[in-house]
Chain A
Amino acid sequence: MNLALIRDNLEVFLLGTSQSGAAGGLMLTLWMAALAAVVASVLGLAGGILLTVGSTWLVRVLEAVTVTLRAIPVVMVMFWCYFLLPVLFGIDIPGVATVIAALSLISGAYLAQAVRAGISAIDRGQWEAGRSLGMTRAMLLRFIILPQALRVMLPSFVNQWITLVKDTSLAYVVGVAELTFVATQVNNREQVYPMEIFLFIGLVYFTLCSLIAALGQLAARRWPAMSV
């Protein structure tokens, strides 16, 4: 094992090699994962709520979109975003934005299904009770259904965030300088120590994912499930 190699390149792994000052390496991985997690969670919540209360045709369209997004590989969705986003907006879109868009869309599709399932796990009596108190549907969702449903969905969200962190490594395919890409650059330069380099970044990802899982478990313990 050649650990000096890791130490010498630590700054490259953490911050990337870019001279322009743009973040790279682990910084970029974290940044992309965090942004995609927020966007995906919002999309997933909105999609799941619409899948529950939307009109028939809206539900059909959303269902078709989520099923399609879940049935094609992340790499293909990245290619599509890479091609379609500039066409749609008429401007040059940086690779990082492409990757974030693709990851948000896919994770959003998975989360929408989880949110729908979570809402449908809440007893019908809760809806009826709220309605008989004179609450509107929006109030009902906001104050009665979602607080209970979100607790049910917590594990799905945590799993999806973990998947998201792992999937940022696919940005390597479209040449975004995140951790995996930077590691292959270091590997190309050094040539002799691929095992050290890739095991090291594997360990970094493992630590990140374990951390998210642990936080999820902590949250689940601090926020006990109501019996529904």
Chain B
Amino acid sequence: MQPPVWLGHGWLPTKQLAVLFDGVLLTAMLSLAVCCMATVIGVMLALAVHYGARPLRWSVFSLIQLLRNTPLMVQLLIWYFAVPGLFGEEARIWLNTPHALSLTGSLALSWPSYEVLAALLALSLYGASFIAEEVRAGLSAIPRGQHEAARAMGLAPFPAFRCVILPQVLALIRRPLIGQYTAVIKNTSLTMAIGVAELSYRSRQVESETLLTFQAFAVATLLYLVVILAGQWLGRQREPVWRGAR
């Protein structure tokens, strides 16, 4: 069956679908890595703002505001174009040549290209600044008595935080956190500007190779919807799905 004339001369060939699939794979992996890094960094920033001494608190708070109120695109360009200039010539050449981290035997983990590295850093810090604000809001909603009670029960400061405060914070900020993770997935699309071959980049590539604009964008849009709605569905499960399997 041929598509109507205004949609072009045919459907996407399998080869091009595979290109788009490569793109969504990179989008998914990049998003996963960024979500993990952004959460860790975000929680640390929030802890610094909530518990830190005044100079630390203010400097971290300003950093968060700076990250939140500048466009991600500009931050990507800074990491991509400007930061390598801070290193010496040798480091720059090393960053731009492919490396493989050889693990045991045949297993080798390839070192990501500089585009991907810059994307990881920029997206993680940008995401962390938003997650930090959610965590901070969660932390300030927990009554002080909770911490004092945990300490009075004989828990050391870290276990008190880890076992008493953190679970309550996580329960409180679960929904906004899912929103932030959705934003991370969408934000990976900006990395096409520095040449990361994720889904948006691939859809543009397929479009210019086949001239099947509608088909290329439709498949890419569907793939985004699948990734994002699947992610949101996973986040809405009361218990992590993988825990129920046991």
Contact = CB atoms under 8 A, between A and B. Distances in A.
Decide whether A and B assemble into one complex.
yes
Interface of A: 68, 71-76, 79-80, 83, 87, 162, 165-170, 172-173, 180, 183-184, 187, 194-195, 197-199, 201-202, 205-206, 209-210, 213
B192 A173 contact: yes
B47 to A, nearest CB: 24
B189 A187 contact: no
B200 A76 contact: yes
Contacts of B182: 71
Contacts of B225: 68, 71-72
Interface residues of B, number: 39
Interface pairs A-B: 3 shortest CB-CB: A73-B189, A194-B81, A169-B71
A166 to B, nearest CB: 4
Nearest to A67: B229
A205 B71 contact: yes
Given A76-B220, A76-B224, A195-B85, A206 B78 contact: no
Interface in B116-171: none
B106 interface: no
B228 A170 contact: no
Contacts of B21: none
A103 to B, nearest CB: 13
Nearest to B203: A79
B37 interface: no
B58 to A, nearest CB: 16
18 contacts: A71-B182, A71-B228, A72-B225, A72-B228, A73-B200, A74-B186, A76-B220, A80-B217, A83-B217, A166-B70, A173-B190, A183-B77, A195-B82, A195-B85, A197-B82, A198-B78, A201-B74, A209-B69
Nearest to B77: A198
Contact of A166 (B71, B204, B228): B71
A180 B71 contact: yes
B82 A172 contact: no
A205 B77 CA distance: 14
A166 B78 contact: no
A47 to B, nearest CB: 19
Nearest to A83: B213
Contacts of B111: none
Contacts of A72: 186, 221, 224-225, 228
Given A80-B217, A173-B193, A198-B81, A73 B186 contact: yes
B95 interface: no
A15 B86 CA distance: 30
Given A79-B204, A79-B207, A213-B69, 18 more contacts: A72-B228, A74-B189, A76-B221, A76-B224, A87-B6, A165-B71, A166-B70, A167-B71, A169-B73, A173-B190, A183-B74, A184-B77, A195-B82, A195-B83, A198-B74, A202-B70, A202-B74, A202-B78
B197 to A, nearest CB: 14
Contacts of B185: 73
A68 B69 CA distance: 26
A205 B224 CA distance: 28
Interface in B47-74: 65-66, 69-74
B214 interface: yes
